[in-house]
Structure 1
C-alpha cells in the first residue's frame, strides 16, 4: 500500500505485491491456519485491498472476496480469538475497499454490523487511564486512516522506526505522515524478508521466551536443554545491551528477567525499575484492553528476589498482586486465566509444586491459548503430544517407585510402629516435588525413605517415647557401626535404628559407586546431628524450659527439622560429582542451614498454638517471651511477624545462593536445597498439612490419577 516517493501510482515495495500474487491459498485466502479465524480474514482483506490499490491480480481479488464472503460469520463471532482492535482495523479496511469500488459478497446488515461494532469500540471507555486510551488509539491507527491525527501517533515511534514493532501500523504511518524513519524500517524488513513480512518485528526474543516458558510449564524443558541455553544466552546479551526489543515491552522484560535469574544469569533488577509504579500498567494499552498476561508476568518476576533491600521488586509485587486480585473479583476473565492467576497467587514461586503445575497446564493446554497483540499467536500442538507422553511415562515410573517404597516400609517393619505417621504416599510426594525429572530415581527413593524415617523418629521424640528410649536411640546412632556395644532398650528403638542404619548403608553403597568415594561417615554424622537436636528439644519440653534467645533455640531446631539426613543423601545421587571440598564448604553448609531454617520457622509459625498447649518450645514462643517467660497476646502476634520476616529473609538468601553463577557447589545440588525450602513452604502452608486430605488428593493427582484431557 505504500507508494514510491514521488510516484504515487507505483508501489514502494513491488516484491510484496508479487508475494501476494504468488501465495494465495487454494481457498482464496492468504495466511496459514488449519481453520478460518479472524487473523486469516484480516490478512486476506488486506491483500485484496493491496492488489486493488495497484490494479493487479483481478482473479486473485475475486477469489479473495469470495473467501471473505463465505466466512464473514467468523468476523462477527464474539467468541473467537481476536487481534487487539480487530473491529477497528477490519472495518477500516472494509471502508477502504468500498472506496476503491470493491464489493464484499455479504448482505448489508452484516456490513452494518461490523461498522456498529467499530463505533462501539471507538466509543467505549476501556480500562486504565487517558494515557492508556491514547496508546490504544495509536495502536489501531492503521484502521483509522487519513482522518486520524497522526501527530498523536508518532510519539509512539520506536528507535527502530516502527510503531509498536508492527509493519502494518508503520506502513500506515508512512502513507499518512510521510515519515522517513517509518520508510527506513519498512525498507529494512523487505531487505531482510523479501516480499513476506512478519506480523510483528522484531518479536524474536518474546516468541522464543514464550516457547521456553511453555516448555517449562509443560514439564518438557529438559528435552530441549541446549536450545533453551542458546535462547537464554541470546536474551542475556540483549538484556546487557539494554536493547529496546526487551526493555520497551512489559511482558517481554518481565519474562526475560524471571527466566534469566532463575537460570543463573547475573542480572540486577534495575531494568525492572520502569515498572515499579502501578501507573506503568494503568497508562498502557494492556490496561485499556484488559490484557492480564503482562500483569501476571510482572507479579511472577517480582518473586525472583534475592534480598530484603530490593525495593523495585517489592513494589512490583505489591501493586501487581493487588490488581490481579481485583481482576479476579470482576469475573470478566476466561476460566483458564482465572485458574492460572489463582494458582500464581496461592502458590508463590517459593511454594510451587511443579509436577502438579505441569499436569494442570497439560490438561488446560490449547493451541490458541497464547496471543500476541497484533495476532493470535498459536502454540505448537506437538508440545502437547510430547508433554502427554512424558507425563504418562514419568507417572508410570513414580508408581513403580512408590511400590518400592511400600515394600521397603514392610521389609523394615516400619508399619509396626503404631505411634508413627508412616505415610509412604505422602513421603514419596515430598520427594517428587523437588526431584520430578524421571531420571532422578535413586535420589527420589532416597528422599522418600529418609522422609519416612525422619517423620517416625520425630514422632518418637515428640512425646511418644520415654526419655530412656530417646537417649538410647541417640546413643546407638552416635555409635553407628558399633551400636551392638549399647544395645536397645525397646523393640521400637531397635526397629527405628535398624531401618535408619540399613537404609543409610544402602544409600551409601550406591553413592560410593557414583561419587568414587565413601560418604558413609558424612551420612551417619548428619543423622547424629538430627537426633541430638531432637533430644535437646525433648529435654526442653519435659523440663518446661524456654530457650533464652533465638540463637539458643535454633542451635537445636535447625537440626531437629531433619533436612540433614534428607537433602545431602539425595544430593549425592543426582548424577554429578559432589566432591568433599564442596560438601565441607561454607556455601554448602549455608544452603542446608537456610533450607532447614525456612522449614523449621514455617512449621513453628503454623503450629505455635498447638505447641504452646503441649509446652513445646517454638521460635514464636521464644521471640514472644524475650527471655523473661511471660507472654502477652500482643507479644505473640509481634513475634509471629518477626518469624515471618526471618522466613522471608532466609528464602531470599536461599534463592540467591541457589541460582547464582560461579558457585563452589554444583548448581543442581544448590537447587535441591532451594527445593527443600519450597517443599516446607508448600507442606506447612497450614498446620499439619503433611497428613491432611488436601495433601492426599494432590499426591494422588501427581502419582496415581491419569490426565483428564479436554
Structure 2
C-alpha cells in the first residue's frame, strides 16, 4: 500500500511546504519566478565588463571609507561608548556587519570589560543605552546578567511608569528581552511590559511612520529576524541621513546589489546541476523545486563569501525533499523499510531487492555525499563522510518510525512523537553539512557533538516542528491531519482544551528559544558562523507559517522576490 493515502498526515519537515500537501508555497509554483533565475544570471554575465569593474572599484572605495569610520569609532570609543554601540546596531541592520567583524569585536570587548569593571549598573541610567549594550553583547556571545535592568524598577520591583514615555528605550528593551535564557524572569517581565506599552503607544500615535517603526519592532525583533530580508526597510528608514550613516547606507546598497547578482549566479549553478542530475526525469512523483531548496541554503548561510558553500548545501537539502517524497507519497512500507536498511549499511550490495526508483535515489545520495565529503577534505583537511552517512541514516530511521506509526494506526506519546519529529524535520542533516562545509573548529570533540544532536541543532529543529504543529491545529482546512504534538498531547490530557494545548506549545517554543540563546553564549565549542546558521534556521521558521486564505506565503514570497530580483538605486 502506497503512502499517498497518508500524505496529509505526515508531520512537517523541511520538505512539507509543497503542492503534494495542503500547504502551498506559491513562490515555488510561480513558473515565471522559478525560471527567471537563469535569465537574471545570464543578464549579469552579459553586462559590460567595464561596468561591472567600475562598480567593483566604487564599492571598494566606499568600503574603505566605512572601514575608516569604524576604526575611528574604535579609537574614540572610550570618549563616547554609545557611539560605538549605535554604529554596530546600524551596520547589523544594514546587513553589512560581516565587513567589520574585527572592529565590532574590539568595541564590544571594551564594552564588556567596562561592564565587568563598573559592576552591573555600568555608566548609564539611560534605558536605551543599557538595553542596546545588553543586546549587542549577548549577540556577540558575551554573558551580561539581566539585573542591569533592575535600576529601572521601583521599590516594589515593578518597571517605572515613567518608562511609558521613553519609546526608544522601550523598543530597545523589548529587543533585548528576546535574548533571554531560562530563569531570567526580569527579561520575561520586561518583554511583556514593553509589548503592552508599545502597542498602546502605537494605537494612539498620530505619526504613521513612527507607528510603523514601532509595529515592525514588535512584529520582527532583530534577534529573531533575518537581516538579509529586513535590510531594505532599514534603507528606507535611513533615507536622508547624513555623515557617517549615509556612507554606511551607500555601502549597504552597493553590497545588496552585488550580493543579489551573486545569488542569481548561484541559482543558475543549482539549476544546471539539478538538470544534469536528472532526478526530476527519473523520479516524476518527486518534487522539482530547485529554487525553493536554494532559498533554504541562502537563508542559512547569509555571508556573501560563502557562495560555494550555499551551492553545496543546496544539494543535500534537495535530497531531503526527494527522500521525503519516497516515504510520503510513493513507497510501500516494505520498500521504505528496505531503503532504510540500505541507507544504514551504505552499500550498493544491499540494493538488489529495491525497486529501480529507489536505486536511482540511493546512487544520487551516495555520489553527492561522497563528492561533498571529498571537497571538504580537500579544502579543510577533514573528511566528514562517516558523520554525513550517520545523519542520513538517522533521518531515514525517523521517517520509517513515522511511516510505521501511520501505517499501523498507532498514536505515540507526545514526548516520543516530538523526539522523533525533531529528527525527521531534517534540520540536523542541514546543519551537520553546514558545520563541515564551514570548516571551522573541526575537531574530534566537535565531530562527536554534531553527530549526537547538540542543543545548537536540536533547538532550531524543535522550534520548527512546534511552529508547524501549532499551525496545523489552527488550520481548519487540514481535515483529518494527524501526527501533531497538539493532537497527541490532547489524547493524553483529555481535560485540556485546544486553547490550553496551543498555549503550552507557544511556551515550549519560547523555552526552545531560551535554550538556543544559551547555546550561543560563550563558552561555545562551535564557531560563530555555525551558531549564526543555526539561528538563521530558527529565524526563518515564522515566515514558513504566515499563510493567507489561499494557503500561500505572501510574506516569504515578497521577501524572496525582493532579495533576489529587485535591486536598489544607489
Any idea what the Cα deviations from partners look like across 1:262-317, whole Å, max 9, x if unmatched?
10112110101233579856425x81xxx53222111101111011x211111111
Query: Distance in 2 between the 1:564 and 1:326 partners?
Result: 41
> Structure 2: how far apart are the matches of 1:341 and 1:433?
25
Distance in structure 2 (CA, Å) of the matches to 1:612 and 1:544: 18
Which position in structure 1 is the counterpart of 2:237? Answer: 364
Question: Which residue in 2 is equivalent to 1:306?
Answer: 181
**Residue 519 in structure 1 maps to residue 384 in structure 2:** yes
Q: In structure 2, list runs of 5 or more residues that go unmatched.
A: 1-76
The verdict on how the C-alpha distance between 1:386 and 1:519 changes in structure 2, with shifts beyond 3 A counting, is same
Matched residue, 1:645: 507
Other-structure match for 2:149: 272
CA contact (8 A) 2:470 2:502 kept: yes
1:468 touches 1:489 (CA, 8 Å); kept in 2? no
Distance apart, 1:324 and its partner CA: 1.9
1:430 is displaced (CA, Å) by 1.9
Pairing 1:560–2:387 present:
no
Deviations 1:625-670 (A, max 9, x none): 118xxx57x5333222222222211111111111x11222333323
Cα distance, 1:350 vs. partner? 5.7
1:581 aligns with 2:456: no
Task: Give the match's secondary structure for 1:694.
Answer: helix
Partner of 2:14: none
1 CA distance for matches of 2:207 and 2:317? 41
Query: What does 1:297-696 align with in structure 2 at a 5 Å threshold?
Result: 297-307=172-182, 309-335=183-209, 337-349=210-222, 351-368=224-241, 379-416=244-281, 417-480=283-346, 482-487=347-352, 489-547=354-412, 549-585=413-449, 589-608=454-473, 613-614=479-480, 616-626=482-492, 634-658=496-520, 660-686=521-547, 692-696=553-557
Farther off after superposition, 496-505 or 256-265: 496-505
Q: 1:355: how far off?
A: 0.4
Residue pair 2:414, 2:488 contacting (<8 A) in 1 also: yes
Shift of 1:688: 12
Q: Report the Cα distance in structure 2 between the residues aligned to 1:312 and 1:244, rounded to whole angstroms.
A: 15
User: What does residue range 176-191 of structure 1 map to in structure 2 within 5 Å?
Assistant: none
Q: 1:451 to 1:687 in 2, by over 3 A?
A: farther
Q: What aligned pairs does 1:9-88 form with structure 2 within 5 A after superposition?
A: none
SS in 2 for 1:390: helix
Cα separation, 1, equivalents of 2:558 and 2:508: 31
**Distance change >3 Å, CA 223–CA 282, structure 1 → 2:** same
- Which one of 283, 290, 309 corresponds to residue 162 of structure 2? 283
Report the Cα offset of residue 418 of structure 1.
4.2
Give CA deviations for 1:469-496 in whole Å, capped at 9, x if unaligned: 322332332232x224323644432343
Change (3 A) 1:705 1:306: same
Cα distance in 2, alignment partners of residues 635 and 365 from structure 1: 47
Query: CA 1:379 to 1:246, structure 2 compared with 1: closer, same or farther past 3 Å?
Result: farther
CA positional deviation for 1:334: 4.8
Q: Which moved more, 1:643-652 or 1:414-423?
A: 414-423
Q: Which runs of 5+ in 1 are unaligned?
A: 1-200, 370-377
CA contact (8 A) 1:606 1:685 kept: no
Report the Cα distance in structure 2 between the residues aligned to 1:389 and 1:641, rounded to whole angstroms: 44
Change (3 A) 1:606 1:556: same
Distance 1:203 1:324, change over 3 A: farther
- CA separation of 1:517 and 1:620: change in aligned 2, threshold 3 A: same
Task: Say yes or no: does 1:262 pair with 2:139.
Answer: yes
Deviation at 1:701, TM superposition (A): 1.1
Change (3 A) 1:590 1:399: same
Which deviates further from its counterpart, 689-698 or 447-456?
689-698
User: Counterpart of 1:229?
Assistant: 105
1:461 and 1:611 mapped to 2: Cα distance? Answer: 23
1:236: how far off?
1.3
| Displacement after TM superposition at 1:210 (Å) | 0.6
Distance 1:615 1:333, change over 3 A: closer
Cα offset, 1:524, TM superposition: 0.9
Query: CA RMSD of the aligned region, Å?
Result: 2.9
Once residues 420 and 213 of structure 2 are traced to their aligned partners in structure 1, the CA distance between those partners, rounded to angstroms, is 40
Secondary structure at the aligned position of 1:585 is classed as: helix
Displacement of 1:567 after TM fit?
A: 0.7
Partner of 2:45: none
Deviation at 1:399, TM superposition (A): 1.0
TM-score normalized by the length of structure 1:
0.64
Structure 1 Cα separation of the partners of residues 386 and 480 of structure 2: 36
Under a length normalisation based on structure 2, what TM-score does the superposition of the two structures give? 0.78
3-state secondary structure, aligned to 1:436:
coil
Alpha-carbon distance in 2 for matches of 1:255, 1:688: 38
Q: What's the CA shift for 1:444?
A: 1.8
- Conservation of the 8 A alpha-carbon contact between 1:567 and 1:676: no
Where 2:532 maps in the other structure, the secondary structure is helix
Where does residue 163 of structure 1 map in the other structure?
none
In 2, distance between residues paired with 1:423 and 1:517? 31
Q: Which residue matches 1:251?
A: 128
- Structure 1, residues 401-430: CA drift from partner, whole Å, max 9, x if none? 111111222222233344434322222222
Query: CA separation in 2, counterparts of 1:678 and 1:474?
Result: 31
Once the 2 structures are TM-superposed, how far is the Cα of residue 245 of structure 1 from its aligned partner? 6.9
Which string of whole-angstrom CA distances, capped at 9 and with x for unpartnered residues, describes residues 353-406 of structure 1?
Answer: 22011222224323548xxxxxxxx64321112112211111111111111111
Task: Give aligned pairs, total.
Answer: 488
Aligned residues of 1:527 and 1:564 also touching (Cα < 8 A): no
